[in-house]
Amino acid sequence: MTPPGRRVAVVTGAAGGLGRAIATALHADGWSVLLTDLDPAAVAAAAAPLGGWSAALDVRDEDACAAVAARAADRGDLALWVNNAGVLTTGPSWEHDGPTRRRLFDVNTLGAMNGTLAALAVMRGQGHGHVLNVVSLAGLIAAPGETVYAASKHALLAFSLGTLSDLRMAGYRRVHVSCLCPDGIWTPMLHDRLDDPGAVASFTGSMLTARQVAARAVRLAHRPRPVVSLPRWRGAQVRLLDALPRLAVALTPLVQAAGRAGQRRQHRRSTRPDRR
């Protein structure tokens, strides 16, 4: 059993990529971390060096999220829930069929909503806690080639900030919701997209490592903020473009060219993808 008072964290989509990096960084920071993922064998392997605490979780299942929250609370103080699970599909919006659109929203938006509400059901009872939603810069601006993905992340951002305001209106001052909006991250989500014209938006800025984003997530866990972009200058850049939609649309060819250059640059850097 976790010692009384020890901080407990839940991370979704933790079998690999960013989720595993966040779980590893939290574990190193002294948290007791419950790693969850759709793939039970993969997440058990990821959890083995971190104390071996894992659970299969389909974030689209509201009852399953509630059960994970209750299981985490049984171990101690559920102080942090990280909604990291997500999927990416690229291409023009009209090329996405109905099931594809639903899957993006079911996982990226509704799945994170399920996790948030499951965590808040415990945290509101405790009177404290923190939900950290991994949103992406695509939640701050309409990313060409990733339109439906960006829409799902915009919805998550709106839900997160609205829920934070709802908590304050209800008198919960020590229950927090934060949004982490990183630039493109070199994880398996992008490993096979170096030649994908629909993914150019993810390669237009700083290609981050999972460890860099995980380190920022740990700092955010200690000091909640409504929205944090990584790197900060990219957040300012995309917010400016979002405020000037005519300019943003006019610059689409330049965005495409910058993204293709970024893909070529990343291809040169990585003869073999780093899957840590």
Catalytic positions, please? 149
The CA distance from 122 to 74, in Å, is 11
Both tokens of 82, joined, read 């990280």
d(CA 245, CA 8): 42
Among 36, 42, 44, CA closest to 12: 36
193 Rama class: left (phi>0) / alpha (psi -120 to 50) / beta: alpha
Tokens of 116: 């948030």
Q: Output phi, psi for 154, to 5 deg.
A: -60, -45
Burial class of 42 by CB neighbour count within 10 A (0 to 12, 13 to 18, 19+): middle
